[in-house]
Amino acid sequence: MYAIEVKNVSKRYKTVQALDDVSFSANKGEVFGLIGPDGAGKTSMYRILCSLLLPDTGSAFVDGWDVVSQMREVRKRVGYMPGKFSLYQDLTVEENLMFFATLFGTTVDEGYDSIRAIYSQIERFKNRRAGALSGGMKQKLALSCALVHSPRVLFLDEPTTGVDPVSRKELWEMLLMLQERGITIMASTPYLDEVRCCGRVAFLDQGKIRGIGAPDEILEQFREVFMPGRPASVIPSLLPSPLSEGNSNLQDEGTNKPARNEAGRETTDPSRTGCMGDGSSVISVSHLVKAFGSFRAVDDISFTVQKGEIFGFLGANGAGKTTAMHILTGLSQPTSGTGKVVGYDIRTEYEQIKRHIGYMSQKFSLYEDLTVAENIHLFAGIYGMKKEEVERKMTELLRQLKFEEHKDDLVGCLPLGWKQKLAFSVSIFHEPGIVFLDEPTGGVDPATRHQFWELIYAAARRGITVFVTTHYMDEAEYCDRISIMVDGKIKAMGTPDELKKEYGQPDIDGVFTLLARQATRSSD
């Protein structure tokens, strides 16, 4: 008997065929990955399997029970964490967990073992309201809530979006532990390293199953989707940095790397932009502190960012990245410390700072009820750009993004990846001195991330400084310099190569894991 069995399931919404004759099955105790780009129909599949949605045709069985006719039995046996799951913001961390434990007929103590690895990281905040947690910590709490009971079959819809790499590893270790206890897990994820943790994966695209098999086979078979332009030989390892290995054979094979190297832009090459060599700093902060009550979200950080740099601002969830970014962008005042951004004081001249920066936040921040062109006009207008200039630049931009025919589409109707690219383009439309990107590629599929980074390089080539936070360690390797923030402090800073050498790790992922693990221990 299969733990999950799907036979010829189709589901159609008014104009969209969400699922088209989908069939697959997963064995008991298997970790089964459901992967595919945005809007492929993954969420519909989960909902059908959880008996939340009725399929138009076909049938599906979970743990041997029919999801259509035996709804009650199915619901007793499954656990489900939806993609846009949000906690009860006004309940504390502990109350949230207790509520979900009772909901699933268990207690926090009983289920503690299955969530220890993740919950222990947020347990010290257990009396804080969930609404006051940072984005990644919320996700961890949500995961704890979903895992506190041991269902027969567990459905996880992109559970690690916005979660830092260390915690992602811990989560997957936990999932594998659950697997050993005979729990079947079906999960989807945009991270390739996570895909590799699955026993088998199904690749879903436009409502159709394109292939089912071992992760490496599928990634290989559809590598133009998952590893845009990457040669097959690189797949087993994490993506190497195009910068650090700029002269390696891999790079020479050509088409794989984002467009940056072609422009000859390297950290060590002073000639790449006109204004790089003068060493003028765009950001310089010293002893910056932001405290909320007795909690120091940002704890005495100092650093400088040079003009034209791509600066990666890494850190675990809740390390204080977003708080620091809010201070730099003039959204909030520091508790103490001084700093200058594009030459203006962050305490007193924050309105001038805003004139010269671009910003793209975690939350998608264009107006969904305006069209592409209207959004561009709005933000260009706010920065006081001339009408003819706006028209000219907009045509150019839309051509570059291949967005011409979507000029008058509502932004809300665009796929997530497109929205992100558009949001970035809008944030640098007024040619700011520096652009702040707060996890710009969260939840985006690999192909789109690749395109996104090409946009970032193009901006950097024009002399725009880029200040970016990310949880994708391959992206971190693309940066000129990175800093790793842990518990409100900057623990390491330098070029990716320097850091790798300093900590004796093969890649940034290793460096990050090392530092973040240290911190977790020290804070306990």
Q: What is the DSSP string of 221-267?
A: HTHHHHSTT--GGGTTSPPPPTTTTTTSHHHHT-TTS-TTGGGT--T
Q: Should residue 365 be labelled a site residue for other proteins when binding is judged by CB under 8 A?
A: yes
Among 377, 393, 407, 517, binds other proteins (CB under 8 A): 377
Among the listed ranges 207-215, 301-309, 381-389, 471-479, the one in contact with other proteins (CB under 8 A) is: 381-389
Among 120, 332, 335, 520, the residue binding other proteins under the rule CB under 8 A is 332
Query: What angle in degrees, to the nearest 10, is found between the helix axes of 387-401 and 416-427?
Result: 140
Q: From the CB of 352, what's the least distance to other proteins, in Å?
A: 8
Task: Please report whether residue 437 would count as binding other proteins according to CB under 8 A.
Answer: no
Q: Supply the minimum distance, in Å, between the C-beta of residue 437 and other proteins.
A: 12
Looking at 53, 108, 416, 458, which residue binds other proteins (CB under 8 A)?
Answer: 53
3-state SS class at 468: strand
Shortest Cβ 332–other proteins spacing (Å)? 5
What token pair was written down for 221? 């078979």
- Across-strand partners of 492? 484
**By C-beta, is 222 or 383 nearer to other proteins?**
383
Distance, in Å, from the CA atom of 290 to the CA atom of 500, rounded to the nearest integer, reads 30
Does residue number 467 form part of the binding site for other proteins (CB under 8 A)? Answer: no
Q: Which is nearer to other proteins, 267 or 361 (CB)?
A: 361
Is residue 479 within 8 Å of 311, Cβ to Cβ? yes
Nearer to other proteins, 349 or 498 (CB): 349
Task: Return the residues of window 60-79 that contact other proteins according to CB under 8 A.
Answer: 71, 75-76, 78-79
| 95 lies in the binding site for other proteins (CB under 8 A) | yes
Measured distance CA(499)–CA(492) in Å, rounded: 8
Rounded to whole angstroms, the Cα distance separating 28 from 148 reads 20
For other proteins, the binding residue among 15, 127, 363, 408 (CB under 8 A) is 363
Q: Measure CA 377 to chain center.
A: 28
Is 90 a binding residue for other proteins by CB under 8 A? The answer is: yes
Beta strand 153-157 with 184-188: parallel, antiparallel or unpaired?
A: parallel
Among 1, 15, 84, 180, binds other proteins (CB under 8 A): 84
Q: For other proteins, give the closer residue by CB, 53 or 177.
A: 53
Going edge to edge, which strands form the sheet with 310-315? 357-360, 434-438, 465-469, 310-315, 481-486, 489-494
SS3 9: strand
139 to 158, contacts with other proteins by CB under 8 A? Answer: 146
CB nearer to other proteins: pick between 210 and 355: 355
The binder of other proteins chosen from 136, 330, 446, 496 (CB under 8 A)? 330
Cβ proximity to other proteins, 249 vs 348, nearer residue: 348
331 binds other proteins (CB under 8 A): yes
Choose the binding region for other proteins from 1-9, 279-287, 335-343, 345-353 (rule: CB under 8 A). 345-353
The position carrying tokens 């894991």 is 513
Residue 70, helix vs strand vs coil:
coil
Give burial (CB, 10 Å; 0-12/13-18/19+) of 257: buried
User: Contact region for other proteins (CB under 8 A) — 89-97, 108-116, 399-407, 463-471?
Assistant: 89-97
Residues 130 and 141: beta-carbon distance below 8 Å: yes
Binding mask 399-428 for other proteins (x = CB under 8 A): -----------x------------------
Of 86-94, 112-120, 455-463, 495-503, the segment contacting other proteins by CB under 8 A is 86-94
- Give least dist CB 236 to other proteins, A: 36
Q: What are phi and psi of 127, to 5 degrees?
A: -100, 10
Please tell me whether residue 368 binds other proteins under the rule CB under 8 A.
yes
Please identify which residue in the block is written with the tokens 């969420």. Answer: 43
Pick the piece of the chain touching other proteins (CB under 8 A) from 2-10, 51-59, 199-207, 490-498. Answer: 51-59
259 vs 385 by CB, closer to other proteins: 385
Q: In this chain, which of 351, 388, 408, 524 binds other proteins, going by CB under 8 A? A: 351
Query: Could you tell me which stretch among 97-105, 413-421, 451-459, 503-511 binds other proteins (CB under 8 A)?
Result: 97-105
Q: How many CB atoms lie within 10 A of CB 101?
A: 21
Say how many residues make up the chain.
Answer: 524
Sheet holding 153-157, edge to edge: 78-81, 153-157, 184-188, 31-35, 200-205, 208-213
Side chain identity at 227, as an amino acid letter? Answer: M
10/406 Cα distance (integer angstroms): 29
Choose which of 109, 252, 255, 384 interacts with other proteins (CB under 8 A).
384
Q: Which of residues 287-326 bind other proteins (CB under 8 A)?
A: none
Q: Binding of other proteins at residue 383 (CB under 8 A)?
A: yes
The one segment of 219-227, 239-247, 377-385, 472-480 that binds other proteins by CB under 8 A:
377-385
Q: Roughly what angle, to the nearest 10 degrees, separates helices 372-382 and 416-427?
A: 20
**DSSP-derived 3-state class of residue 145:** helix
d(CA 309, CA 312): 9
* Phi, psi at 378, each rounded to 5°: -60, -55
Binding flag, residue 98, other proteins (CB under 8 A): yes
User: By CB under 8 A, is residue 111 in contact with other proteins?
Assistant: no
State residue 298 phi and psi, 5-degree precision. -120, 125
- By CB under 8 A, name the binding residues for other proteins: 13, 47, 50-54, 71, 75-76, 78-86, 88, 90-91, 95, 98-100, 102-105, 146, 329-333, 350-352, 354-355, 357, 359, 361, 363-370, 374, 377-384, 410, 436
